[in-house]
Amino acid sequence: MKGFRTVGSAQRFLSSFSRISPHFRSPRHRVTATAHRTELATRFPVWDQVTEQALAA
């Protein structure tokens, strides 16, 4: 529980993180470094749009 004060706070973080992390975790062992960087370059702007709308709501 590194950094978490309670089990509940760790569980809340992990439940959110498990939905978000696949968006940034690509199958790197199957693609070249250039393709991986290109994919992340397209995923981060999508994440920015999603978080902007969530913050505005």
Q: Provide the whole-model pTM.
A: 0.52
Q: 7-45, pLDDT tens digit by residue?
A: 888 888 888 888 777 777 777 778 888 988 898 888 888
Query: In degrees rounded to 5, what are phi and psi of residue 33?
Result: -60, -40
Residue 4 has a pLDDT of 83
pLDDT tier for residue 53 given thresholds of 50, 70 and 90: low
Residue 18 has a pLDDT of 81
Residue 1 has a pLDDT of 58
Residue 48 has a pLDDT of 85
Give the gyration radius of the chain's Cα atoms.
15
Query: CA 12 to CA 27: how far, in whole Å?
Result: 26
Contact 30, 6 (CB under 8 A): no
